[in-house]
Amino acid sequence: MKFNSLVIHGGIDGDKTTGAVTVPIYQTSTYAQEAVGKHSGYEYSRTGNPTREAVEKLIADLENGYRGFAFGSGMAAISSILMMFQAGDHIIFSDDVYGGTFRVVDKVFKNFGLEYSFVDTSEKANIIHHIEDNTKAIYVETPTNPLMKLTDIQEVARITKERDLLLIVDNTFMSPYLQRPLDLGADIVLHSATKYLGGHSDLVAGLVVVKDEELATKMHFVQNAVGAILGPFDSWLLMKGIKTLAIRMERHCENAKKVAQWLSEQTWVKKIYYPGLSTQKITDSLREQMKDFGGMISFEVNDEATLNKILSNLKTITLAESLGGIESLISVPAKMTHASIPAEIRARLGVTDTLIRLSVGIEDVEDIIKDLDVSVK
Ligand SMILES: *Cc1c(COP(=O)(O)O)cnc(C)c1O
C-alpha cells in the first residue's frame, strides 16, 4: 500500500467483531481470563491495550519498522529509550536538540551515570572526534529547533554501522510523510506525536518505532516496566489525527514555501532559516533525505520594534509554544522555549532576541501573510 492509503488503512483497520470502521476505545485496565494463564492475549493494559496497539501498529507501518510503542508524551518516549542504556554508557547527541531532551539528559539521566556529549552532528568529523570506547549510540534531531540545522542521516548511519552503535532519530519536525529514518539506516525513530502526528493541538503523546525484534523486546520491556504508556482515549485520538497526516503535511509544506518566499522579499527580514528556499545551500544527499521541507520557518527581523509590531494584532496566527497543529503558531524562542539557555550561549547558537519561529498552519496562506505584514499594521 502506498503512503496516502497507509495512513488511513495501516495498522489495525477498523473492528473485525462489529464492522465498525474505526478502532474501538478499549477503556479497560484488565481482561477476564478463561482459566489461569489462559487469556485473549491481553492481561493488563500497561502491558498491552488493543487501542494503543492499533496506533503502535500504525506508526510501525508508517515508519517502515518492526514494532511501534506509544507513550504519554514525547519526553516519556525519549526517557524510555534512554532507559535501555546503563550507567557508564556514553551517548552523542545533536547539540541543538529539543530543550526538554537536553534537560532530561543533563539533569536526570546524568544522576544515574549516563555519560553524554552534545556536538554539532551536521559535521561528520565532530561525531567521529567524540566517539569513546563506551559510546553506545548517536542521537540526532534533523531539522533542529529553531535554526533548522540538518544532519545527513545516511552519513551518520555509516558511522554507527561500522562501529556497532545505535542510531536514534527524533523525527518530530518531519513526520514519516516527509522523512523515514529507518529506511536511511537508523535503528530507532521517535516522535513527539503532540506535534504533526496528532496535528490538532489536542493531545500530548510520544511514539517510538524500532527496526528489529531484539530492540522491540528491549523497548517493550522498558515500556511495561516503567509504565509511561499512552491511554486508550489519547491513542484513539492520535490515530484520528494520523489519518489526515499526508494531506495536512502537503498543505503545511505548500504554505510554508509561500511564506518563506514572501519573507525573503521583505526588507525588514534579516535572515531566514528554511531549508526549502533556493538560497539555502544543502547537499543532494540531504535534499533526497526529505521528500519536502516541512512547515517550520524561523526568521530574524531587523529590530525589536518590528518584532513587537508583528506580534501585536495577530488575527490568524496564535502566539504560543508548540508546533505542528493545523493552526499557525508563532513564538519568540529567546523569550519563550529557549529562555532558560544563558544569553551568551543563545547568541553563539544564533537564537537572538529578534528571532521568530513560525509553525505554518493549513489556513489560507494569504491570511497568514497578512498577519506578518508589518507594512499594513
Ligand atoms: C515537543 C518536542 C519533544 C517533546 O515532546 P512532548 O510531547 O512535548 O513531551 C521532543 N522533540 C521535539 C523535536 C519536540 O518538538
pLDDT in tens, 41-72: 999 999 999 999 999 999 999 999 999 999 99
Within-domain flag for 377: no
- Please give the residue that has the higher pLDDT: either 145 or 121: 121
Residues with CB under 6 A from ligand 1: 73-75, 98, 100-101, 141, 145, 170, 172-173, 192, 194-195, 204, 206
* DSSP-assigned letters across all residues of 317-367: SEE-S---SSS-EEE-TTTTTTTTS-HHHHHHHT--TTEEEEE--SS-HHH
Same-domain status, 273 and 344: yes
Same-domain status, 221 and 107: yes
Q: Band of the pLDDT at 28, cuts 50, 70, 90?
A: very high
Active site residues: 46, 98, 170, 195
Question: Quick one: pLDDT at residue 265?
Answer: 96
Same-domain status, 235 and 268: no
Within-domain flag for 121: yes
Same-domain status, 153 and 186: yes
Cα gap 376→356, rounded to integer Å: 19
Question: Quick one: pLDDT at residue 324?
Answer: 97
Atom 5, ligand 1: residue with shortest CA distance: 74
Structural domain for 259, as ranges: 246-372
CATH of the domain at 159: 3.40.640.10
Same-domain status, 195 and 274: no
Name the DSSP letter for residue 94.
E
pLDDT in tens, 241-286: 999 999 999 999 999 999 999 999 999 999 999 999 988 788 999 9
The domain boundary residue, chosen from 199, 224, 242: 242
Whole-prediction pTM: 0.97
pLDDT in tens, 167-197: 999 999 999 999 999 999 999 999 999 999 9
Task: Report the residue among 194, 197, 203, 237 best suited for mutation to probe ligand 1: largest number of ligand atoms under 8 A from its CB.
Answer: 194
For the segment 79-84, the average pLDDT, to the nearest whole number, is 98
The DSSP element (H or E) to which 297 belongs, if any, is strand 296-301
Question: Quick one: pLDDT at residue 271?
Answer: 95
Within-domain flag for 321: yes
Question: Quick one: pLDDT at residue 343?
Answer: 84
pLDDT in tens, 291-319: 999 999 999 999 999 999 999 989 999 99
Count of other CB atoms within 10 angstroms of residue 240: 17
Question: Quick one: pLDDT at residue 80?
Answer: 98
Same-domain status, 175 and 297: no
The alpha carbon of 75 and the centre of ligand 1 are apart by a number of angstroms equal to 6
Question: Quick one: pLDDT at residue 172?
Answer: 98
Q: Band of the pLDDT at 349, cuts 50, 70, 90?
A: confident
Residue bearing cell 555519560: 115
The alpha carbon of 27 and the centre of ligand 1 are apart by a number of angstroms equal to 26
Angle at alpha carbon of residue 244, lines to 241 and 249, rounded to 5°: 105
Question: Quick one: pLDDT at residue 37?
Answer: 85
Q: Band of the pLDDT at 34, cuts 50, 70, 90?
A: very high
Ligand 1 atom nearest residue 78's Cα: 10
Evaluate if residue 340 carries a pLDDT over 80. Answer: no
